[in-house]
Amino acid sequence: MDLRKDTIRHLGLDLFKNCPAFDKWDTQLLDAMCDSLKPVIYTEESYIFQESGTVDAMLFIARGRLMRLTSYGATTEAFLYRYLGYGDFCGEELIGWAFDPHSSSIKLPSSVATVQSLSKVLALVLKADDLKLIASQLRHLHGIHHVRNTFRFYSGQWRRWAACYIQASWRRYCKMKLKKSLEEQNGRLQDALAKAGTSSSSLGDTIECLILCYQCTISCTVLWCAKACKDCLFLNSNPESRVALIL
């Protein structure tokens, strides 16, 4: 029994280092959390959390691979995904809930993503009530708001907001570039027509000028479509923790 407890403790302390909300806590508090950890095995293709479902525990992954899937916007035609493996965690929605003095076990937070195992998974599970008990001891300590803000920065919800914001900003930028380019081409076209009307240029020269301007406009439109309508917007080049927006 002592060997099993020590194994969970050492594994738990190692996994906590990867969690920005816990990596600055002292050893005594982390030991208390390790005492509450329970090892759980999930079979392949098991649904651990469902989006909008209740989150009743945090999972710290010790072995195996999972996929975190979040729908984008009001439809399910686009989604955000991320692969999870050793050292990752999920169920982080419980952090804000645990440090909220007005929260209750009757109303647990909802999951912002669907988490499914891609292989056999070994995880250390921290139940909501256990986390709430530990958080109650820290609620009034100096700097606890920093812990919450730090964790929110790394949370799946914040990743989702960041992806949406980046994509929206990129599309606005491309539209502005396209609009500016079209205005420039229109100005050149007007100048060409004005010169053609005041000179003795032939009709063929005028038509050639119009064709050239039209080709430039088409080129700008194609460039916009190629940049703004990609299938995926990858936010992380690491394939093990890739976040992509699928359209």
Q: How far is residue 216 from each of residues 6, 69, 182, 206, 221, measured CA to CA in Å?
A: 70, 41, 9, 16, 9
Residue pair 231/72 in contact (Cβ under 8 Å)? The answer is: no
User: Which CATH code fits 2-154?
Assistant: 2.60.120.10
Does residue 145 surpass a pLDDT of 60?
A: yes
- Per-residue model confidence as pLDDT tens digits over 60-91: 999 999 999 887 655 555 677 889 999 899 98
Report the pLDDT averaged over residues 194-217.
Answer: 60
- Domain spans of the chain? 2-154, 165-230
* Residue 61 φ/ψ, nearest 5 degrees: -80, 125
The length of the chain in residues reads 247
* Per-residue pLDDT at 169: 87
Measured CA to CA, the distance from residue 99 to residue 131 in angstroms comes to: 9
Output 15 or 64, whichever has higher pLDDT: 64
Report the pLDDT averaged over residues 163-170.
Answer: 82
Bridge pairing between strands 47-49 and 89-90: unpaired
The overall pTM is greater than 0.95: no
Output 3 or 173, whichever has higher pLDDT: 173
